[in-house]
Amino acid sequence: MQNINDAEGRRAIFCEKWLIRHVQVSSIRTSERAVFAKVGVIPTTGMGEQLEGSFNIGSCWESFHAERLAWLPNGYVQWRLFFDPQVIQDVVSIAAAFRESEPFEPYDEHYDALRRPSKCF
């Protein structure tokens, strides 16, 4: 990514520990020490309703790595954003195949299936 602000308005897959959501990035702010953004959850079939609305993410520059297809903080930061259109399509397709009667739960095969497309990063 040439400029961190190029991610403004882009869709992504957000992963943090056992949480995976389809999101849209907005309100990117930077300072000398850190980068911050707001991410809005895009309702997606099969991803459950554990998290809705929007929330803020951030990382100090020392722990932050941005590529065109992903933001990959490290160290104490546990979240990741994947902008790769193929990863987004794969995760959304996998989630859509889940039956609504089988709600997404951390630690199960749904989580493993949703994480698989992003493991190449």
Give the confidence band of 1 by pLDDT, cuts at 50, 70, 90: very low
> Based on the number of CB atoms within 10 Å of its own CB, is 61 exposed (0-12), middle (13-18) or buried (19 or more)?
middle
Domains of the chain, by residue range, sit at 4-114
Q: What is the predicted pLDDT for the residue at 103?
A: 56
- For the chain, the distance separating the N- and C-terminal CA atoms, rounded to the nearest angstrom, is 15
Average pLDDT, the chain: 82
Q: What is the predicted pLDDT for the residue at 108?
A: 57
Give the confidence band of 48 by pLDDT, cuts at 50, 70, 90: low
pLDDT tens across 75-121, in order?
Answer: 777 898 999 999 899 889 888 887 665 555 555 565 666 666 666 55
